[in-house]
Homo-oligomer: A and B are copies of this chain.
Amino acid sequence: MNNLALDKELMFKAIEEAKRGIPHVYPNPAVGCVIHDGGKILSTGYHKMFGGNHAEHDALQKLDKSARGLTMYVSLEPCAHVGKTVACSDLIDPEIFKRIVIAEKDPNKKASGSIEKIKRSGIEVEVGLLKEEARALNKRFYVFHEQKRPYVILKYASTLDGFVAENDGYSKWITNEKSRKENHYTRSICDAILVGSNTARLDNPNLGSHGLAKDPKIVVINNDEDLSSLNLFKKEPIVYSSKDLTDNYEKNISFILNDLYKKNIQSLLVEGGAKTISGFINSGVFDELHCYIAPKFLGEGLNIFQGKSSIKKNYGLKIVDAKIIGDDVKIIYTRNAN
């Protein structure tokens, strides 16, 4: 095996290690680490849970410190700051390590900066091996830090002909119980969930994960209606009202996402209604789209897409999965990088 093939194999191993920490490390990134002496793996480690030891620390704890000339493979740049744990870059001893291979830099400015520091200590540093694979591990984390906004998932449930409610707003239930349960899981792995005031008023939703995990923070776009009697107002939602918002939906989305970034919301599930979802689709600022499609037709009512588009318009939707749930289908798209 040549050096590159060996390097890749060991970095894959580090990435596999990283996956073991998902979802317990959230909102931290999942990170894995492998230590190798040129012949065999001496130690592995991963970031196990939020607030716990980082991957490098975990691997180093199990290492015989008399070893020399080692290589460390780590799926994210070692942190340079003292947070809940000691800075990892300070743990990497140039007496022991001759080389460190890093899959991708840390986009979090508070944690990054260790590469130069490690180089100065005399350790050879390589960055970028299996970068895409390492980024895929922590998509939300990269969007949050690089684009300074939450990772945005749009979710809706429609009939085959695209309707999300009858004429009077009635929408319970278009999809089956299992589909709704599936979305409760998605809620449980998001920091916040956003609805418009129409959805808040008409559906009066619980917006919780129904006991699956922590409930997400609730965010409501409310054009100054009195919604205080609604279920979700018992949960101290973040409310954006006319004092924050303009007539321009794109500007509003930009304002809201910027504010949620400042509030440290790393992932946002947008659950409707149609006007809100369409605003996000038209703005182009979203990362995933989850469509639950029921085997029904309505013919009239509220269509999911509010606006006028064309067949030629490219929404950059890349299909990830089409999952059968009872007689519903859940289609998951991600956005193209472009």
Q: Are the CB atoms of B322 and A327 closer together than 8 Å?
A: no
Number of residues of chain A lying within 8 A (CB) of chain B: 46
Q: Are the CB atoms of A170 and B308 closer together than 8 Å?
A: no
A327: which B residues are within 8 A, CB to CB?
317-319, 333
Nearest 8 pairs of A and B residues by beta carbon: A162-B162, A161-B162, A295-B317, A161-B305, A297-B305, A322-B322, A299-B307, A319-B327
Cβ-based interface call for A58 (8 A): no
Residues of A participating in the B interface, judged by any CB pair closer than 8 Å: 158-163, 166, 170-174, 278, 281, 291, 293, 295-300, 303-311, 313, 315, 317-319, 321-324, 326-329, 331, 333
Sampled A-B contacts (13; CB under 8 Å): A160-B162, A161-B162, A161-B304, A162-B162, A166-B311, A172-B311, A278-B299, A293-B331, A295-B315, A296-B311, A297-B313, A299-B309, A319-B327
- Which one of B160, B281, B304, B308 lies within 8 Å of A291 (CB-CB)? B160
A321: which B residues are within 8 A, CB to CB?
324
Kindly provide the distance from the CB of A205 to the nearest chain B CB, expressed in whole angstroms.
Answer: 16
Kindly provide the distance from the CB of A223 to the nearest chain B CB, expressed in whole angstroms.
Answer: 22
In whole angstroms, how far apart are the Cα atoms of A308 and B301 in the complex? 9
A333: which B residues are within 8 A, CB to CB?
295, 327
Q: Are the CB atoms of B322 and A310 closer together than 8 Å?
A: no
Instruction: Give the secondary structure class of A's interface.
Output: loop
- Besides the contacts A295-B333, A298-B308, A299-B309, what 4 more A-B pairs have beta carbons closer than 8 Å? A161-B162, A298-B311, A322-B324, A329-B331
Q: Are the CB atoms of B293 and A309 closer together than 8 Å?
A: no
A163: which B residues are within 8 A, CB to CB?
162
Kindly provide the distance from the CB of A178 to the nearest chain B CB, expressed in whole angstroms.
Answer: 12
Q: With A324-B319, A327-B317 as given contacts, are A297 and B307 in contact (CB-CB < 8 Å)? A: yes
A304: which B residues are within 8 A, CB to CB?
160-161, 297
In whole angstroms, how far apart are the Cα atoms of A293 and B289 in the complex? 14
Q: Are the CB atoms of A296 and B319 closer together than 8 Å?
A: no
Kindly provide the distance from the CB of A17 to the nearest chain B CB, expressed in whole angstroms.
Answer: 30
Q: Are the CB atoms of B298 and A309 closer together than 8 Å?
A: yes
Q: Are the CB atoms of A299 and B306 closer together than 8 Å?
A: yes
Kindly provide the distance from the CB of A295 to the nearest chain B CB, expressed in whole angstroms.
Answer: 4
Kindly provide the distance from the CB of A169 to the nearest chain B CB, expressed in whole angstroms.
Answer: 11
CB nearest neighbor in B for A165: B311
A278: which B residues are within 8 A, CB to CB?
297, 299
Kindly provide the distance from the CB of A262 to the nearest chain B CB, expressed in whole angstroms.
Answer: 31
- Which one of B171, B295, B306, B310 lies within 8 Å of A166 (CB-CB)? B310
In whole angstroms, how far apart are the Cα atoms of A317 and B171 in the complex? 19
In whole angstroms, how far apart are the Cα atoms of A171 and B312 in the complex? 10
- Which one of B281, B295, B299, B324 lies within 8 Å of A297 (CB-CB)? B281
In whole angstroms, how far apart are the Cα atoms of A161 and B281 in the complex? 12
Q: With A166-B310, A324-B319 as given contacts, are A305 and B295 in contact (CB-CB < 8 Å)? A: no
In whole angstroms, how far apart are the Cα atoms of A297 and B306 in the complex? 9
- Which one of B166, B298, B311 lies within 8 Å of A170 (CB-CB)? B311
- Which one of B160, B161, B173, B326 lies within 8 Å of A311 (CB-CB)? B173
Q: Are the CB atoms of A311 and B162 closer together than 8 Å?
A: no
In whole angstroms, how far apart are the Cα atoms of A322 and B331 in the complex? 9
Kindly provide the distance from the CB of A256 to the nearest chain B CB, expressed in whole angstroms.
Answer: 21
